[in-house]
Amino acid sequence: MDRQRHHNRSLLALLAVLLLAGVLLSLSLGRYAIPVGDVAHILAGKIISVEKTWQALAENIVWQLRLPRILAALLVGAALSVSGAAYQSAFHNPMAAPDLLGASTGAGFGAALAILLGMNSLAVTACAFLGGLACVCLALLAARFSRGDPVLSLILAGMLAGSLFQAGTSYLKLIADPRNTLPEITYWLMGSLSGVKWEELRGLALPLLLGFVPIFLLRWRMNLLSLSDIEGRSLGVSTARLRLALIVCATLLTAASVALCGIVGWVGLTVPHLARRLVGSDGRVLMPASFLLGGLFLLLVDDLARCLYTAELPLGILTAVIGAPFFLLLLSQRRERE
């Protein structure tokens, strides 16, 4: 037990160091290359007094353009990964993803409606966040009127709500201007971090905080979700309330992530499986590992999106191209072990 605990702590520390190194490397990459040393000095100059040896243009690029985008990639990747791990624990299903209850679909509808109405970027982000919450609330409301297994009823209600909002998005795309509005909606739905600004990060800081903090506080009890409701009550824990709390927090994380960068698939499905492979299924270690791995994964994917070609690639395309084969590899290795 002590050896496993030491291994997990060492692995989490290594992932934290890799994430910090990835942030510094990402800040230096781009069409305007900036040495890593200058990046470190620019960041340190915001905290302590450092002799200025860099150009003002480099400071503006790092602080105004790249840093908010990189922080957004880190937070979105971590949020999607943590919410995926929470959904998988709540529903006892390793195939559960953050969009299981339609949060991403609802956010896509909200953003498409805002773009169709000609709103600015902050309004689009707000409408996407509210759309994601509305879809999940509809799923929870529909599940209350269903009989039978509550977990299965909630999954079916999520499919129903997601289908309705997906139909709404299709209708909005049908009536949108094919020369201007439709391409903008389509590009947003494919996911991108190119337009992220400090204002949008500050606007979604509270939902992300409300999602992350309870999940990390409850991760000590997540292992109890494998028990039945009767067994949980015998231990003094309401598994139904714990499941609902995880679903609400994961929904906040998913809606905020999609509102910030559009629909990005496979992160919440693939990364928790990799985290489980590295540290096991104990929620106390699984959540921090999912946080670090998710942030690192999407950070590297975003670097490829903005540096691979002259034209920036949508994140949704790259995460599918990278995540799907990697997920199949994880499943094949798991089958061999079994």
pLDDT tens digit sequence for 126-183 = 999 999 999 999 999 998 887 777 778 888 899 999 999 999 999 999 999 999 899 9
Exposure string for 179-205, b = 16+ CB within 10 A, e = fewer: eebbebbeebbbbbbeebbeebbebbe
* pLDDT at residue 97 in the model: 86
**Domain contains 59:** no
Confidence of residue 226 (pLDDT cuts 50, 70, 90): low
| Spatial CB neighbours of 255, under 8 Å, sequence gap ≥ 6 | 103, 106, 107, 128, 129, 131, 132, 133, 136, 207
CA–CA separation, 169 and 157 (whole Å): 18
3-state secondary structure of 181: helix
- What is the number of domains present in the chain? 1
User: Among 7-11, 84-88, 153-157, 334-338, whose mean pLDDT is lowest?
Assistant: 334-338
The answer to whether position 232 is within a domain reads yes
Q: Region 96-100: what's the mean pLDDT?
A: 86
Residue at 147 is within a domain: yes
User: Which letter does DSSP use for residue 256 in this model?
Assistant: H
Question: Is the residue at 283 inside a domain?
Answer: yes
Residue 319: which residues within 8 A CB-CB, separation 6 or more? 191, 264, 265, 266, 267, 298, 301
User: What is the residue type of 307?
Assistant: C
The verdict on residue 126 lying in a domain is yes
Structural domain that includes position 144: 71-337
What's residue 229's pLDDT? 63
CA distance 102 to 136: 6
Alpha helix ranges (H) inside 262-282: 267-279
User: Do 173 and 111 contact (CB within 8 A), yes or no?
Assistant: no
- The reply to whether 136 falls in a domain is yes
36 within a domain of the structure (yes/no)? no
Q: Which of 60-64, 236-240, 321-325 has the highest mean pLDDT?
A: 60-64
Q: Please, which residues have CB within 8 angstroms of residue 171's CB and are 6 or more apart in sequence?
A: none
In a domain, 31, yes or no: no
Q: What is the DSSP string of 45-99?
A: HTTS-----S-HHHHHIIIIIIHHHHHHHHHHHHHHHHHHHHHHHHTT-TT--TT
CATH number reported for the structural domain that contains residue 289 in this entry = 1.10.3470.10
Per-residue model confidence as pLDDT tens digits over 25-66: 999 988 888 988 888 888 888 777 777 777 888 889 999 899
